Every structure is written in C-alpha cells, then in structure tokens.
Amino acid sequence: MLDSLITSKTRIKLLLKFFSNAETQAYLRGLADELGESTNAVRVELNRLSQAGLLDSASNGRTKLYRANTSHNLFPELQSLVQKYLGIDKVIEIVRKLGSVELALITGDYAAGKDTGIIDLVIVGKIEQKYLLHLVKRTEKIIKRKLRVLVLSRAEFEDLKDNFNTEQALVVWKSDAEAGNAVNEPEATPTETPGS
C-alpha cells in the first residue's frame, strides 16, 4: 500500500520508524545502520521530512536526534496510515473482541518502528485462549505478519513489568480502570477504550 504511494523505500522505512510510535527518537548513523541504507540516502529523506514539518530535530551534543512532529496537522492521519500498513489496526480489533482485557501493549520491534514481520503483543486480563488463537490465526492471514501473544494476569504483569520496555511500548488498549494505574505510556500514543 505505502510503496505504491511513496516510491522512496528509505522514506517508507523512516515513516514506519517514526509514525508507528510517536516516542521513537533516532539519529542519522543509527538509522542508516538499522535500515540498511547509506547515510546519504537517509540524510536526504530526513531533510525532506523535516522541511515538510513532519519531523522535529534537536541537538544532543554533536548528534542530531529526530522524532515525529506530533503537533503537525497530518500526524494523526500518518500514524493511522502507518498502523494500518503494519496491521496494528487489526491487532486492536482482536483485543476489542476478547472481552475482559485491562491492557494491551505492542512491544519489541514494532514498538520501536521496525517492520520485522513478528508483532509482539502483551495482553493483561482474563480471556479465553481458544478464541484468542482463532482470532490470531485469522488476523495473521490478513496482515501477513506473525503475532506472538503473551497473556498475563494483573499480578503476573506487575511481576514481569520490568522485563518489558514499557516506556517504548505501544499501548493499543486500556480499560477505564487501567487509566488510573501507573504504566509508563507515551503521551502521544493513541489508546482505545471499550465502547469507543
């Protein structure tokens, strides 16, 4: 979908990196290494996206850090487009159908903006495993990516929370009761609540 609209593969990779999770920050050389692109190709696209106002940058010593400009008028639409491209919208549909879910997080590569083909999903709540398996298999065929799901009770999540990088996790679902609990969550990350 994105590759038919945008011809630059480097630009697509940068959009995925910065707009899948608004908290993502990166610098030129790190991006070039991660994306497998030349620093020159990445620099050109970073400049174009910055000139368009889609990326903000800040100096950190001699390093220039880039991140999505969340105040840009197109930010919500671009983030939605990227999440649809990655299949995150379908993951949210799974969570909506499960019933008693307190919290759902995407962790790992996708939370860091890397399209590796495996989406790590952590679900906190009481759900029916057989139904979850059915939904996961169906969704994997649609999004053409593997879903790796970990279901935890609230107590298990609290015990294991330090093992997850919750600061970079992408919160895709939060119950009304969960809104009061202290989970590190990026402010610009969209959340879904039951009935919305």
With the C-alpha atoms ordered 156, 148, 169, 60, is the resulting torsion angle positive or negative?
Answer: positive
Among 129, 114, 126, residue whose Cα is nearest residue 170: 114
Residues β-bridged to residue 120: 107, 148
Its pTM stands at 0.72
- The helices-and-strands tally (H runs, E runs) of the chain is 8, 7
**Structure confidence at residue 179 (pLDDT):** 52
**Structure confidence at residue 178 (pLDDT):** 55
Show the tokens assigned to 37: 């692109």
**Structure confidence at residue 185 (pLDDT):** 39
Domains of the chain: 2-68 (1.10.10.10), 87-180 (3.30.460.10)
- 86's CB contacts (< 8 A; 6+ apart) are 16, 20, 110, 115, 119, 143, 145
pLDDT digits (tens, 9 = 90+) for 128-172: 889 999 999 999 999 999 999 999 999 999 998 888 776 678 888
**Positions in the chain short of pLDDT 50:** 180-196
Show the tokens assigned to 35: 């994306």
